[in-house]
Amino acid sequence: MSQEKKGGLKRRDFLKIIGVAGGTAAVTGACSPPVEQIIPYVIPPEGIIPGVPNWYASTCRECPAGCGIVVKNREGRAIKVEGNPKNPINAGGSCALGQAMLQGLYNPDRIRSPLIKNDTGRMQPAGWENAETALVEKLQEAMQKGSGSNIVFLSGHTPGSMGNLIDEWMTAIGGRHLSYETYAFEPLTEANRIVFGIDKIPTYNIDKTKYLLSFGADFLETWVSPTLYTRQFSEMHSYKDKSMGKFVYIDPRASLTGVNADEWVSIKPGTEAILALGIASAIVSGGMSANGAGPFGGLLSRYTPDKVSSMTDVPEETIKEIAREFSSMQPSLAIGGGVATTTTKATETLVAVNILNYVAGNIGQTIDFGNTLTLSDVSSFDDISSLVESMSNGEVDVLFVYNVNPAFTLPKSMGFEDAIDKVPFVVSFSSFMDETTEKANLVMPDNTTLESWGDFIPNESVHGLIQPVMTPIFNTKSTGDVIISVTGQLKGFENTFSQKDFYDYLRNAWKEVWTSSTGGGDFDSFWDKALEDGGIYKTTSPVPVSVSGDLSGVEFSEPEFQGDGDFYFMAYPSYRYYDGRGANKPWLQELPDALTTGVWDSWVEINTETAEKLGIKLGDYVRIESPQGAIETQAYVYPGMRPDTVAVMIGEGHTSYGRYAKDRGVNPITILPVAKDALSGGFAWFTTKVNISKTGKYTPFVQTQYTTSEEDRPMVGTVALSSLVSGELEQEHGEHEEPDFYPPVKHSSQYRWGMAIDLQKCTGCGACITACYAENNIPFVGKELVAKRRDMAWLRIERYFEKTDNKAGFDTRFLPMLCQQCGNAPCEPVCPVFATYHNPEGLNGMVYNRCVGTRYCSNNCTYKVRKFNWFSYKFPEPLNWQLNPDVTVRDKGVMEKCTFCIQRINYAKDQAKDNGRKVLDGELQTACQQTCASGAIEFGNLLDEESKVSKLSHDERGYKVLQSINTQPSITYLKKVKWDKA
């Protein structure tokens, strides 16, 4: 793919980028005009060759991680987002949120022009002139008052030129700029300040660790930089050279990250600190510590394993075992800081984790303070709460809201909504009518990331560029441009900004970057190179840190939980919606949650025994009551919960935010108290207890998989690590092929496409599913049809909770299931009209136009991976702009399925033909493979002995699903490795 992308980027895009750089009509010149003007091409616009995609590098802004992306543009429309292989954070991978960016860009509910709230309180469309003059007026008034802090700009985490512009502007006109992130990880910063004297979030080298211990850090989902850590985790946790790292997850709830652990330790909520200290003291007392207890000897001596065990509900031998392995399997790493540990004692917990790392000698080994994250620079939660206070006291006259939705992400009890009503003039730059924007007096819709210029600095090593990949679809305007032009209209500030627009501002800023970094060469070529690469990437060197033993103010004790309920209440961030911003994207709504396979809704996860006691069944509606309020949602009965804890996902429950998000599910934040972590002052997520009760209402729980057991069928192959290492493979499942009736067929082709999927690497995150939707024009069907099992996903991830003898009592297994392209395909001979047939390259072809819809193929499909178009599905304008022109949009009555992205195969073959060679290994990637951050999927030519895929298909762990049916699949799965004493 990297090959293909170079091919895509190098020549044509260079021209284009020149066009950009020379950009007078920057945006429009760079990106092609909207399609309706350019089809048919009489004379193609400069830089556009019909049928040939252009790739633009940019930066993802769906979460603060700041992954690099490249966007595929066909005839002026962005049609696919992929991870930028050059970006060191995600290195080509991307998560479902990143894949779904396009549905933000093309969302039918986008605000299409500035809106001004009239006296009746209704929003009315307006032109940009009117909008800006209205804003100028209000600003002038407010500035006359000039109390200094009566103008507030509340933004998301915006490190880079945009942030600087806002700062400059606010200082100039006498306001203040606050940046607010829902998950700010303040305790992490504070704990590092206390122990290491550095108030930063470091980069953890998970890939280098042999033993990973996570205290509630859901690093595969939302924690700090999920895609980066997914990749690194796959690195440390995959089986290679007869070894593999071990991962232990400590949390009252087995999150998606938790079920990927070799061992899930269910712990009493809030006692992680004590457990961490217990493990540390066990290491020290066992004489296993690399550098002794250091300054913490006294402290640790107080936390003997037996004592700790009684406080944390974690068996003593477990503590000792972890201690032994943690110290012996070097380098090891302990991390923490997910919602589970974000109690009022969050900082203490993380201090304890740091101590544990220190004791095991991991500082500087697997924790890199050289490459710290900018995320630690966001305003503290104290600032936000004081802002809300001053708002409700009427001290704020003008409030700008940019890239945040506090009305949704702040607890109701904080009173933000009342406070914002007290603000005379609220300006929102949001692209969507979200809860906060509803309150705005003036809406000045920003371009989405894919339409605007900018840059983003996630950490020390990456300075990402954001460039528009197509012209704005609607009458929107980059907020940077708005600020500059508005400032120009303010009396006395005409010259505050010398630049004529934000693009100009950005380039100036980068001139400094240029001088500070390389300096050499001329700026334009530097700029073009940066645009081409999606930014500039530095290698940072680790800085040595010293540990201070001074823990004054830190005392380790159990946090109190508010409310007199019987259940600890966990509101956990969703890897599909992050803090709710993903909820308006149908792809994410229809992406089944990995654990529950639920879609389009919320649910509360309740432990199996608890549910039995309360007589709650899957699908029962449950009322969850905290002192701050109550929510009602369906129950999901889940063995991976502590019996005294219930959990609800954050992200659903919008009261606004477009047709796909509105009035769907519940928002658990609404019943959270405003509690702070004592030391850092950061918002504490896990601080309340609730009562739960059956409401009596029941509807079937809408999910994509109704079973949790493999039913004694060899679906997910597993193998014990010990037996792999020792060489004598004793394997859980085994099936062999039966003799065939007909002699084997010989195909006359130089390719036979095959795939290998490493179940040890697959984390079940589902990014591949969303990528498949995006690449293959798969329609989303909505909750009602998913309830009838009519979801159209070509690729599903089967999840099984198999009863096992491990500590958790069950083992969660994921199995990505897509068309196996069987060599002896059951679907083909039964089709009366040859709509599906076998092509010479081993693919199981599907000719939509031949299909009459007998559906026999699906009935005869061993893997049930075929989907049928029950209706003609709609893509509401402009969502249809995203459709991939290389793939047919199927109409009602025809069968469809995965064909290994045959359009990509053909493109790659054409490229190869042009260059008079065969398709190179790795040059061609399927959409699912390309996006997979953990590199679980390998694809290529099985006839090429040297190709990665043919090597993997002969791997000792290799097996075919349901082999005894003799379908001879082209997909080889690599067995999941069970960690046992090895």
Residues that bind another protein (CB under 8 A): 705-707, 709-713, 715, 740, 742, 744-745, 747, 785, 788-791, 796, 798, 800, 815, 817, 822-826, 828-834, 837-840, 850-856, 858-860, 862-864, 867-872, 892-895, 962, 965, 968
Task: Judge contact between 611 and 619, C-beta under 8 A.
Answer: no
Q: How far is the CB of 218 from another protein (least distance, A)?
A: 24
Q: How far is the CB of 809 from another protein (least distance, A)?
A: 20
Whichever of 36 and 742 has its CB closer to another protein, that residue is 742
Whichever of 523 and 698 has its CB closer to another protein, that residue is 698
Whichever of 325 and 732 has its CB closer to another protein, that residue is 732
* Count of H-run helices and E-run strands, the chain: 33, 37
CA 663 → CA 123, 315, 583, 655, distances in Å?
A: 21, 44, 11, 5
Whichever of 448 and 869 has its CB closer to another protein, that residue is 869
Strands 620-626 and 535-537: unpaired
Provide the Cα torsion 803, 814, 66, 479; round to 10°. -100
DSSP assignment, residue 9?
Answer: I
CA 939 → CA 1, 753, 865, 929, 935, distances in Å?
A: 11, 7, 19, 7, 11
Whichever of 608 and 860 has its CB closer to another protein, that residue is 860
Q: How far is the CB of 802 from another protein (least distance, A)?
A: 11
CA 601 → CA 129, 569, 583, 625, distances in Å?
A: 41, 19, 10, 19
DSSP letters, 87-106, are -TTTTT---HHHHTHHHHHT
Task: Judge contact between 662 and 361, C-beta under 8 A.
Answer: no
Task: Judge contact between 915 and 906, C-beta under 8 A.
Answer: no
Q: How far is the CB of 256 from another protein (least distance, A)?
A: 17
3-state SS of 356-393? HHHHHCCECCCEEEEEEEHHHHCCCHHHHHHHHHHHHC
Strand, coil or helix: what is 215? strand
298 burial level (CB within 10 Å; 0-12, 13-18, 19+): exposed
Whichever of 2 and 859 has its CB closer to another protein, that residue is 859
* Cβ-Cβ contacts under 8 Å for 564 (sequence gap 6 or more): 689
Q: How far is the CB of 757 from another protein (least distance, A)?
A: 15
Task: Judge contact between 189 and 201, C-beta under 8 A.
Answer: yes
Nearest residue to 423 via CA among 403, 447, 410, 407: 407
Q: How far is the CB of 639 from another protein (least distance, A)?
A: 17
* Cβ-Cβ contacts under 8 Å for 761 (sequence gap 6 or more): 234, 237, 238, 934, 935, 936
Q: How far is the CB of 712 from another protein (least distance, A)?
A: 5
Strands 867-868 and 971-974: unpaired
Tally the C-alpha atoms within 13 A of residue 49's C-alpha that lie toward its C-beta: 10
CA 420 → CA 62, 152, 810, distances in Å?
A: 25, 12, 48
Q: How far is the CB of 709 from another protein (least distance, A)?
A: 7
Could you give the CA distance from residue 12 to residue 30 in angstroms, rounded to a whole number?
12
Whichever of 282 and 715 has its CB closer to another protein, that residue is 715
Q: How far is the CB of 334 from another protein (least distance, A)?
A: 35
Whichever of 148 and 832 has its CB closer to another protein, that residue is 832
Q: How far is the CB of 742 from another protein (least distance, A)?
A: 6
Q: How far is the CB of 866 from another protein (least distance, A)?
A: 8
Longest CA span, the chain: 90
Whichever of 179 and 820 has its CB closer to another protein, that residue is 820
- Write the single-letter amino acid at 623: R
Could you give the CA distance from residue 14 to residue 944 in angstroms, rounded to a whole number?
34
Q: How far is the CB of 889 from another protein (least distance, A)?
A: 15
Q: How far is the CB of 787 from another protein (least distance, A)?
A: 9
Whichever of 325 and 710 has its CB closer to another protein, that residue is 710
Whichever of 528 and 828 has its CB closer to another protein, that residue is 828
Q: How far is the CB of 799 from another protein (least distance, A)?
A: 8
Nearest residue to 724 via CA among 242, 245, 244: 242
Whichever of 502 and 868 has its CB closer to another protein, that residue is 868
Whichever of 340 and 785 has its CB closer to another protein, that residue is 785
Whichever of 790 and 909 has its CB closer to another protein, that residue is 790
Q: How far is the CB of 745 from another protein (least distance, A)?
A: 5
Rounded to a whole number of angstroms, the CA Rg of the chain reads 28
Could you give the CA distance from residue 837 to residue 844 in angstroms, rounded to a whole number?
6
Length of the chain measured in residues: 982
Whichever of 498 and 849 has its CB closer to another protein, that residue is 849
Task: Judge contact between 980 and 720, C-beta under 8 A.
Answer: yes
Task: Judge contact between 800 and 710, C-beta under 8 A.
Answer: yes
Secondary element (H or E) of residue 604: strand 604-606
CA 654 → CA 371, 407, 490, 575, 602, distances in Å?
A: 36, 10, 37, 17, 11
Whichever of 287 and 744 has its CB closer to another protein, that residue is 744
* Cβ-Cβ contacts under 8 Å for 519 (sequence gap 6 or more): none
Q: How far is the CB of 825 from another protein (least distance, A)?
A: 5
Please count the other Cβ atoms lying within 10 Å of the Cβ belonging to residue 757.
25
Whichever of 28 and 858 has its CB closer to another protein, that residue is 858
DSSP assignment, residue 543?
Answer: P
Q: How far is the CB of 773 from another protein (least distance, A)?
A: 17
Whichever of 297 and 845 has its CB closer to another protein, that residue is 845
Residues paired with 641 in a beta bridge: 253
Q: How far is the CB of 791 from another protein (least distance, A)?
A: 8
